[in-house]
Amino acid sequence: MISRGELIDVYFNKEDIDLDVYPFSLPFFNMVDRLKIHPQITYLVGENGTGKSTLLEAIAIASGFNPEGGTVNFNFSTRESHSILHKYLRTSRSTRRHTDGFFLRSESFFNVATEIDHLGAIESYGDQSLHEQSHGEAFWSVFMNRFLGNGFYILDEPEAALSPSRQMAMLLRMDELIADNSQFIIATHSPILLAYPNSIIYEFSGEGVQALKYEQTELFQTYRDFFRDPAYVVDRMLNR
């Protein structure tokens, strides 16, 4: 179980480091000294390689989670691939404490499922091994069964395993958990998940990071332009 205060701010320590070396060379790290965290949902969006998942992972580790995911009680390791960024983060938290938490990431979900089987803990995840379900069903089982409320939940591209209808259902479940004093930080490429109305959206790019409204994000605008006339967009892309 996690028992930590609600996350308010993330600060970047830039003393005695080489800004030309990864992960400190990531544009967002160079641009800002602090990111404010929303009490309900903070989104990280942007192109691949701009540092969203690297920052999300660092926040998770700095909050006591296993780098590969799971609860704060998971201490397994299959391959250490996380960056050292967490060592250069400082967080500020409120006195209101969360009693639950989970770090859910798509790229290492298989390893988390294996650890759950090893611990004999499937009763907390729907009484069925996550390996005996489809990828999407296993993700959904964790989200519906293991997220208990009054929690701090860090999600890295959860839409990778979910259909559009499940993503919409996820918004409803997120709203229920938020009503139960939960806080989310989510890195996503899904315009559906990004649509929750009360949030902060940070868009990462080669120029750094900026807080935007939903309709201002490149993610929203790209999908909007495509669905206005998909045939036209595809024809332009294929030079037809």
Q: pTM to 2 decimals?
A: 0.91
pLDDT value of residue 1: 46
CB atoms within 10 A of CB 18: 8
More confident position, 138 or 172 = 172
pLDDT tens, position by position, 139-182: 888 888 889 999 999 999 999 889 999 999 999 999 999 999 99
Pairing of strands 41-46, 200-205: parallel
- What is the rounded distance in angstroms from the CA atom of residue 159 to the CA atom of residue 89? 27
Alpha helices (H) along the chain: 27-31, 52-62, 109-119, 135-145, 164-179, 218-228, 230-237
- What is the rounded distance in angstroms from the CA atom of residue 44 to the CA atom of residue 63? 17
Least confident of 1-5, 32-36, 195-199: 1-5
Between 164-179 and 135-145, two packed helices, what is the crossing angle to 10 degrees? 10
- What is the rounded distance in angstroms from the CA atom of residue 165 to the CA atom of residue 216? 24
pLDDT tens, position by position, 78-98: 566 568 999 999 999 999 899
CB atoms within 10 A of CB 215: 8
